[in-house]
Amino acid sequence: MSGGTEPVIGGIGGTEPVRGGAESVDGGIGGTEPVRGGAGGAEPVDAGVAGAGGADEGRRSVTVRVPAKVNVQLAVGAARPDGFHDLANVFLAVSLYDEVTATPAETLTVTCEGPDADKVPLDRTNLAARAAELLAARHGLSPDVHLHIAKDIPVAGGMAGGSADGAGALLACDALWGLDTPRAELLDICAELGSDVPFSLVGGAALGTGRGERLTELPVGGDFHWVFAVADGGLSTPVVFGEFDRLAEGTDVPAPAASPVLLEALRTGDTAALAGALANDLQAAALSLRPSLAATLAAGTDAGALAALVSGSGPTTAFLVKDAEAAKAVAAALTASGTCRTARTATSPVPGARPVR
């Protein structure tokens, strides 16, 4: 689906606010104050896009749909002097989505609905709000926008829900404000927001290096079917990386590198080969912090999944299956097992952030 090997972004600068780019409470760390946020966009879907001074009367809102991700390989290097880690992070975008709607407002505000919406910060720590602020600042505007997040991606689940919201807000605000910001600049803002945010914009399949923000799109030769078991509660990405460092203390952590076998399995669309190559260096840390995830992984494989792993920093667990029928069966078995709150089916790869209305 995602063809080519040209780097999407190389050596993107900016701050690194989130370890590994995932969120501790889906889009920001803490915060409860009602907030402000917005996002920019590429091609507008509706007519009547506003000029750089704000939305015109013919365009009252822009909605952008953004997918979740699964890391089919997450290779983690030793901690760097800045506290972050070099990664070889192979992303696939999957068909679970958040939608971010940007509407003109007197000030920056964020609202949220959907599963676990009460756990999403509604202050300026939310990546959607920060995306609006960064985009507005680059264009000399005031970020006067209401951002509404309709969540369907698990919160703090290792599937980049907060990063998705940041990318969605960026694209929605760009369209709402009629800015036509070059894609390279949007990607630069994404990298400033967090390590996973650029992939949320790009979608498809990609290899992330550096702290995960430098992307090279990857070719994929077919569709892959997944089941995701959603756990109760979340896991903080920084805490999981801290546990990785603790477990690795005194050992020689190799430099991260993408698996040639895994990349070939993606290129050819070989589900069985991909199942044999799935790997997540954070899995041991996630299991150390949440031992109950081992029972979830076992329940899925016992039900017929070809392979299982913790998704990113967890606690969502991912199961690669043969086809759609197998996905239904594994999801039903996981739900009945009592080892997870719910199970969701999805396919990959899918496009990144896109305006839908």
Active site residues: 69, 196
Q: How far is CA 103 from each of CA 106, 110, 175, 304, 348, rounded to the nearest angstrom?
A: 10, 11, 11, 45, 30
Which are the contacts of 89, defined by CB distance < 8 A and separation ≥ 6? 20, 71, 73, 74, 75, 207, 208, 209, 212
The answer to whether the Cα torsion of 183, 188, 194, 196 is positive or negative is positive
For strands 145-150 and 109-113, give the pairing.
parallel
CA–CA gap between residue 99 and residue 62 (Å, rounded)? 10
Which are the contacts of 7, defined by CB distance < 8 A and separation ≥ 6? 214, 215, 216
Measured at the alpha carbon of residue 81, what is the angle toward residues 262 and 279, in degrees to the nearest 5? 15
Q: Which residue type occupies 103?
A: T
CA–CA gap between residue 346 and residue 249 (Å, rounded)? 37
Measured at the alpha carbon of residue 121, what is the angle toward residues 116 and 127, in degrees to the nearest 5? 110
Which residue spans within the chain are E strands per DSSP? Answer: 62-79, 85-104, 109-113, 145-150, 205-209, 214-217, 224-230, 279-280, 307-310, 317-321, 342-348, 354-355
On the question of a cis peptide bond just before residue 256, with omega within 30 degrees of 0, the verdict is: no
CB-side exposure of 29: number of CA atoms within 13 Å?
13
331 Rama class: left (phi>0) / alpha (psi -120 to 50) / beta: alpha
**Cβ pair 153, 98 in contact under 8 A:** yes
